Amino acid sequence: MRKKTNLLFIVFIAVFQSVHLFSQDIQSAEWICTTDNAPWVKNNISEKRVQTSTLIQIDPAKTLQTIEGFGGCFNELGWDALNSISYTEKQAVLNSLFNPASGCKFTICRMPLGANDYSVNWYSHNETPGDYEMEHFSIARDRLRLIPYIKAAKEIRPDLKIWASPWCPPSWMKKNNHYACRTDANSNDLSADKQGTEMEDLFVLDDRTLSAYALYFSKFIQEYKREGINIYAVHVQNEPNSCQNFPSCIWTPEGLSLLIKQVGAQFKEDGLETEVWLGTIERPQPERVDPILSDPEARKYITGVGFQWAGKGVIGHVNKTYPELKLMQTETECGRGTNDRAAMEHTFSLMKHYFKNGISTYEYWNMVLNHTGKSQWGWKQNSMITITKDLKVRYNPEFYLMKHFSYFIKPSARFLDVSSDENCLAFLNPGNEIIIIYYNENDEPVNRGFEIGTDTIQVELQGKSLNTFVVKI
């Protein structure tokens, strides 16, 4: 009996030593923490180590989709806001967004093809009725704001990728001959009898007009290339189901399929390598995307699908049904101009949802706005950065949220499966570097542990704090 007891004791000691040797606390890792009063503070793990039974397992072997990058949208009103401050201040703001060493390190950004709701006013690149050959096509308007904005960013980040989407085609290509879809006495002159109806095509769906619109897309890409700006992708319509008082156009799935076929064929004929995406989808119904993605003639041109707003309700279906397609979150929900922590918390919940449903790219909306935050059509919205009424630069909570992701997560990183549905996301960077992002939504501090293979981080996290850990494995 004594020999058996001794043997068990020896086995127990061996197991204990094995656990002690190979399961140990990580003593040092990069840790950045943001709270309301102290944004972007470097913490020391050894100073805040605790013991906790709340462990979130992160398995570096369970890799999911590849991450391509983060960004925002170049809008005319953003450039006007930037030009209200000094050159030095403007460069500092641009560096805070694009600098590949110290800024948000944005790699992929959006722009409008023609006017959107954050343009100074309505315009398209060809408002000459009946010009099907696009003889009067011009990007002269963009040389005033959008092109300088993009070029200023590319001076800091030369490899910045740009994609474009139209909010509205030239007005003469629409059945109502107007940029808007919904009448609003306070913001447009569209008569009530010319309003659109959701799930009906407002575009004139004849061969000649579709062909002219495809040529419009192609001319845009070619003219931007002459400016030294490569448009790597187009999403064929911003929110094709939303009838707005600002530039907009509604389409049926069948109409969008026709447009995608025409644009894809035009790009092929013109030797353009620009990708064609189905986007930006803002409704949750599968029946609004399936007819397009199941049309083989349209599908052969589609690289990926972009989602925003209520489109988050259909992304899981698309990810599961069409796993070969790339997925993108194209526009963070813009709020009502509060620019507060509640807005940041909502955006964090969106990021969780989109990454867990397969996206490769996450895009903010307005990177910079003035103190009003207001579009020319009356909607006050959030921005990452605000130029205040007294011309000071204010970095809002969503700026730091985006930076907690984009500063650390490199292109080609892989999204990782984690064991908990808490506010935790993890990524595997090239070079075996784990990025852990955790938001403590509680008012009080909490103790949390992150188990990476046989190693752990166990720390106390401040109340209402956003935390990023960088761990080399």
Are residues 124 and 242 located together in one domain of the fold?
A: yes
In a domain, 388, yes or no: yes
Are residues 339 and 445 located together in one domain of the fold?
A: no
Are residues 247 and 104 located together in one domain of the fold?
A: yes
- Low-confidence winner among 50-54, 73-77, 191-195 (lowest mean pLDDT): 50-54
Residue with tokens 């419009």: 216
Residues 302-324 have pLDDT tens digits of 999 999 999 999 999 999 999 99
Are residues 93 and 178 located together in one domain of the fold?
A: yes
Alpha helices in 123-240 (DSSP H): 146-156, 207-226
Domains identified in the chain, total number: 2
Are residues 99 and 213 located together in one domain of the fold?
A: yes
In a domain, 15, yes or no: no
So what's the pLDDT on residue 453? Answer: 85
Are residues 315 and 440 located together in one domain of the fold?
A: no
What share of the chain in percent tops pLDDT 90? 92
Are residues 183 and 270 located together in one domain of the fold?
A: yes
CA distances in angstroms from 319 to 7, 287, 312, listed in the order given? 54, 15, 11
More confident residue, 260 or 22: 260
Of the candidates 301, 295, 250, 247, which has an alpha carbon nearest to the alpha carbon of residue 274? 301
Residues 158-171 have pLDDT tens digits of 999 999 999 999 99
pTM: 0.94
Point out the domain boundary residue: 359, 374, 408.
408
So what's the pLDDT on residue 454? Answer: 87
So what's the pLDDT on residue 15? Answer: 36
Residues 455-466 have pLDDT tens digits of 999 999 999 999
Name the DSSP class of 441: -
Are residues 346 and 468 located together in one domain of the fold?
A: no
- Considering the chain, what is the average pLDDT of its residues? 94
| Alpha carbon distance 169, 274 (integer Å) | 19
Are residues 179 and 305 located together in one domain of the fold?
A: yes
So what's the pLDDT on residue 342? Answer: 98
In a domain, 7, yes or no: no
CA distances in angstroms from 387 to 338, 403, 414, listed in the order given? 14, 19, 35
In a domain, 19, yes or no: no
pLDDT at 7 over 90: no
- The CATH number assigned to the domain holding 443 equals 2.60.40.1180
pLDDT at 1 over 70: no
In a domain, 176, yes or no: yes
Are residues 334 and 425 located together in one domain of the fold?
A: no
Domain of 278, in residue numbers: 68-408
Residues 108-140 have pLDDT tens digits of 999 999 999 999 999 999 999 999 999 999 999
So what's the pLDDT on residue 188? Answer: 98
pLDDT at 12 over 70: no
So what's the pLDDT on residue 166? Answer: 99
Point out the domain boundary residue: 381, 408, 435.
408
Alpha helices in 322-454 (DSSP H): 341-356, 397-406
Instruction: Determine the length of the chain.
Output: 473
- The CATH number assigned to the domain holding 175 equals 3.20.20.80
Residues 338-393 have pLDDT tens digits of 999 999 999 999 999 999 999 999 999 999 999 999 999 999 999 999 999 999 99
The backbone region for 458, taken as left when phi is positive above 0, alpha when psi lies in -120 to 50, beta otherwise, is: beta
Are residues 38 and 141 located together in one domain of the fold?
A: no
So what's the pLDDT on residue 16? Answer: 35
Residues 389-426 have pLDDT tens digits of 999 999 999 999 999 999 999 999 999 999 988 899 99
On whether the CB atoms of residues 190 and 180 are closer than 8 A, the answer is yes
So what's the pLDDT on residue 261? Answer: 98
**Where are any strands of DSSP class E within 144-301?**
161-165, 231-235, 275-281
pLDDT at 20 over 70: no
Burial readout 161-183 (b: 16 or more C-beta within 10 A, e: otherwise) = bbbbbbbbbbbbbbebebbbbbb
* CA neighbours closer than 13 Å in the CB half-sphere of residue 219: 19
In a domain, 127, yes or no: yes
In a domain, 466, yes or no: yes
Structure token pair of residue 149: 């904005």
Residue type, position 57, single letter: Q
Structure token pair of residue 44: 């020391």
What share of the chain in percent tops pLDDT 70? 95
So what's the pLDDT on residue 26? Answer: 82
Are residues 326 and 392 located together in one domain of the fold?
A: yes
In a domain, 156, yes or no: yes
Point out the domain boundary residue: 408, 429, 447.
408
